[in-house]
Structure 1
Amino acid sequence: MNFWRLATLCELCSTSAINDTSGQGSVDEKAIGSLMRYKYFVGLSNVSLSTHKLAKQTTEFLTHSASLAVDGNPNSVDTNCTHTAGEPNDWWMVDLGRVFQVTTVNIINRLDECNCGDRLDGIIYEVGITLDSWEECGRFDGPGIGRLEINITCHRAMYGRYVRIRKLNQNALSLCEVFVYS
């Protein structure tokens, strides 16, 4: 059974409203001048917020879809991992369904005969309340080769509905599983 604690975040903003078009009511804002109030959820620290959630990526190589990184299967071989086509600034993103406090992002890296762990070299982790409001949570410069798991703890309290992993170079991005924790 999952338990979520509801809290309130106040933030100074230059905009007067955040639009929640999902129909789920996950963002509740009250604009008071330039002060914005958001409701967000804090999950259990040992339960991934991203498992079985909607995921997208910029490009797809063969059948290596974005959903493979949130299917709950941490197997780190080719057919269980996402793979982009290697376009400039490729990214992968998960929609958590509502605004959460995000503290940690863990990636299960690809560790099979391809020796392609370097596909995680030069990535930036971002958190956004909307698809237009990204803030950096952390970076991984590498090397990814030989590392099964890459853990990034956000450098400060982060709040968002979306978590994005973005490449800073033109190499393909490949993720076997992504766990987002509160």
Structure 2
Amino acid sequence: QNIALGKQTKQSADKRQKGSYLAVDGSTNDQIGNRCTHTEQEFNSWWSVDLGAIYLISHVIIWGRKDCCIERLSSFTIDAIMPVKPRKCGPYQFGNWTDFFMGDISECHYQNEKVDFLNATCQQNTVGQFVRIQLEKTDYLSLCEVEIFGRQLPSEYIGGKGSYKCGSSGHRIEGDFLETAFARSIIECVYLCSVRHECYASNYNKATQECQQHVAEKKSNPLTNMIQDPDWDVFGSL
């Protein structure tokens, strides 16, 4: 199921009233200029959709223009953005467009060659509420339709009862670890922990992108073993 259809969208600028909503109107047949989004010509032109919840993104399909300027749709990234950073001992809340500009980014795909159609499989653990398509050059960005596929993450991930909802920057916990993994953000590190029932907290090193998954008794609070360390962030359950 296309989770982008009819959702709220934005883009870096509107040219000739060709708004961002045209990329999620459900029409994949009209790959011509008057049925496609259009930004101004600028560096890092972007388009984004708010999925309204946090998803694990599997793939993104893009229809570009066929009537003109195919070379414009090249040298771009597809990113998922998780807009809410862990708050100290508080649940996740869905973000807004202000959070969008500050969120943790998971790169789904980078496309160098020009395309008028792309079916991009995302990298593993691409997680976010927003999906953004952004040029890595100075040009117009025009999209005729964007479809996004993935699964909504359960309440255990986004801050429901018994979830990973207590954390602190500049700290880490000591104790026994299930494993050490690589993660591109604290959000991905938390996700890796959340899918393992025996994992109750994560240490994340921002510099090395090291993710330490901590094991503890479910009824205990692993954050009681927290110590100060400026290189690490910790996020765990209560």
Query: Given the two structures, how large is their TM-score scaled by the length of structure 1?
Result: 0.70
Partner of 2:133 in structure 1? 165
Q: Which amino acid aligns with 1:86?
A: Q
Shift of 1:100: 1.1
State the structure with more CA Rg. 2
Cα contact 1:57–1:84 (8 A) shared by 2: yes
Partner of 1:135 in structure 2? 106
Cα contact 2:50–2:129 (8 A) shared by 1: yes
Cα contact 1:59–1:87 (8 A) shared by 2: no
Cα contact 2:106–2:127 (8 A) shared by 1: no
Q: Percent identity?
A: 33
Rounded to whole Å, the distance in 2 between the matches of 1:57 and 1:84 is 7
Give the structure with the higher percent helix: 2
Structure 1's consecutive aligned runs of 4 or more residues displaced over 2 angstroms after TM superposition are none
Partner of 1:98 in structure 2? 53
Shift of 1:155: 1.8
Return 5+ residue gaps in structure 2 as ranges.
84-99, 151-238
Give the total of aligned pairs.
Answer: 131
Q: Deviations over 1:79-117 (max 9, x none)?
A: 1100110111110000001011101011011112x2x11
Partner of 1:119 in structure 2? 72
Q: Deviations over 1:42-61 (max 9, x none)?
A: xxxxx111010000001111
Partner secondary structure for residue 14 of structure 2: coil
Shift of 1:139: 0.7
Query: Given the two structures, how large is their TM-score scaled by the length of structure 2?
Result: 0.54
Matched, 1:61 2:32: no
Query: How large is the Cα RMSD of the aligned pairs?
Result: 1.0
